[in-house]
Each structure stands twice: as structure tokens, then as C-alpha cells.
Amino acid sequence: MTAQAEILFDNPLWPRGRPALSILIPFKGDDPTPLLAALARETGDAEVVILDDGSRDPALAARVEAAIAALPLPARFARLAANEGRSKGRNRLVAHARAGHFLFLDSDMLPDSPTFIAAWLDLIARENPAVAFGGFSLDQAPARADHALHRAMAGHSDCLPATERALTPEKIFTSNLLVRADVFAAESFDEGFAGWGWEDVEWGMRVARCWPILHVENTATHLGLDTARTLADKYEQSTGNFARIVATHHAVISHYPSYKVARVLKRAPLRSLWRPMLKAYALTEGPPLKTRAFALRLYRAALYAEAV
């Protein structure tokens, strides 16, 4: 981890003793105050640590500081002048956490239940799980035309019930992820990942070798849906991270549909000619969402064909 200096702000409750749960929230540019307001509606043996990973927005920082000051839970706000990235930022959050379990929660999430924190605390008390993923939904996400493609794709592949998620237990997201402190001490996030994508799944693959990963129903809504163009850009950014997964976890990733389709497309000629056509179709407003989603998934697999 870098030695980058942090600006710290603690609320009046922070000096209290060691809690059972540390809720860890990174953000960069997004406004996490709606999530903080939702967490403020609950009480329990928990603390909040939030990291501004280089937003460079004084007005946003002031709003977050005010929300932290008013939070009825012990809370710390750490600010960085420069962005460290998804893995380094989450590892840094853990360095501030004092609990026996950490809940990684993305800043663009909203709990779906008024007893969201209580449900996690109850699970900790009953089972002391090594790792548990609560899942996510789109229940509270506003329906916007420019997010329709992402909504369709996420609803199809990501917003799954716990029973279905448990079939590939290592496939988790840091959007709503509970981790026991000793597990994270043994396996932190790989800071070699850059940009967007796969660092959380890679972590799950490592952890699943030694500890069970429990899938439960304690969802939070993902509010941060993307436009089709932004989603395509993220897929392009993720190609190097996918290659890193292939190199280090080939036996696991080779069973994933994205890998299998990429292997098929690797044998297809003239990828450089037809791949942009898939992207162009997916970004075109008007055609049926199902066909646009299929085109974007094929585009992603065609990108990943370079890594398999």
C-alpha cells in the first residue's frame, strides 16, 4: 500500500469500544450521503468507515463530513488526495476497521430492508461466518431510459437468489460482502488489479480454497446503473483484469460462460472487423433490449478472446 497521507474526521461516537461489525464504504465522485442516511435509521453494534478515494470535491467532502457527524453509529471519514483504486482503497479501509467482521458496501447501494444491519449482526452472532454475500437488487433503482440496457443485463445475471448464487460461491461482489477479520488478514484484495472489474471475483476464488462462502438473502439495491456506452467502456477496461484471472485461476474461470464463449470467438476470423459492429448495435437505441444485451455480452466475450 502507498504511504499516501489521509485526512481523518471522526464523529463523537468513534472512541467507543470495539464493535461487532465494521461497515466499509469507498467512494470516488459518487455521493454516499443517501446510503449514510439509510444506515442512520438503524442502530446496533456497528461502526462505519468511509473513504473518499481521491474525489477532489470539497463540497462533496463537506456533505459527507456532516453526515458522519450526525450518524448514530461510531464513524470515521478518511480522505485521499489521489485515487488509489478499488483494491488498494478497500485494503486501506480495513486498516481503520476495529470489528471482527467487515461489511464491504458500495457507496451507490441502498439497503432493501429496514433491518439490514440487524440481519448481518444476527448472522454474525449465530454463525460467525468466514464470508457471506447478501446479494443485490434493482428494487429501488429509478427506471431511466438510458440505463435500460444495464438494468436488463444486471437483472439477468447479477440479481440472483441466494440458492442460485451458491452454485458458484466464489462469484461475489464487494457491493454487499461480509468478511471475517481473520480471513481478510490472510487474503486481502490483490492490488495488482487496475481499472474496473474482476478483483472481487478473484478474491473470492482465492478465499474459496480455504473457507466456505455463504450466500444469504440480505440484499441492497444497486443504484449506480450505467449508460450503455459507459458499460461498454468498463468492459474494455476489464480485459487486462480478465487476463490476470485466466493466468492465476484457469481451472476455475474455464467453467465460466464468459470464458467458454471467448474461447469460441478466439477461433473466429476477422474479429477486428465485426467486433466494433457488435458494440455499435448494442449502443443503438431502438432495437429490442434482449438483442442489444446479447450483442454487448458477445462484444465483451470478443474482447476477452484476446486473453484466452
What is the average pLDDT score of the chain? 94
Assign residue 112 the CATH number of its domain: 3.90.550.10
Q: CB–CB of 57/1 below 8 Å?
A: no
User: 191, 209, 225: which is the final residue of a domain?
Assistant: 225
Q: Which residues pair with 23 in a beta bridge?
A: 48, 103
- The domain total for the chain is 2
Same domain, 134 and 273: no
- pLDDT tens, position by position, 20-70: 999 999 999 899 999 999 999 998 999 999 999 999 999 999 999 999 999
Return the pLDDT at 3.
63
Q: CB–CB of 201/172 below 8 Å?
A: yes
Same domain, 189 and 232: no
Same domain, 143 and 207: yes
Return the pLDDT at 2.
46
Is residue 136 situated within a structural domain? yes
User: 176, 201, 225: which is the final residue of a domain?
Assistant: 225
Return the pLDDT at 195.
79
The domain of 296 spans 228-308
Q: E strands of the chain, at which residues?
A: 6-10, 21-27, 46-53, 75-80, 101-105, 109-111, 131-133, 136-137, 176-180, 213-215, 220-222
Is residue 1 situated within a structural domain? no
Each residue's pLDDT expressed in tens, for the chain with a length of 308 residues:
446 789 999 999 999 878 999 999 999 989 999 999 999 999 899 999 999 999 999 999 999 999 999 999 999 999 998 888 888 999 999 999 999 999 999 999 999 999 999 999 999 999 999 999 999 999 999 999 999 999 999 988 899 999 999 999 999 999 999 999 999 999 999 998 887 889 999 999 999 999 999 999 999 999 989 999 999 999 999 999 999 999 999 999 999 999 999 999 999 999 989 999 999 999 999 999 999 999 999 999 999 999 99
Same domain, 287 and 201: no
Per-residue CA distances from 228 to 139, 231, 279 (Å): 20, 5, 9
pTM listed for this prediction: 0.93
Same domain, 242 and 199: no
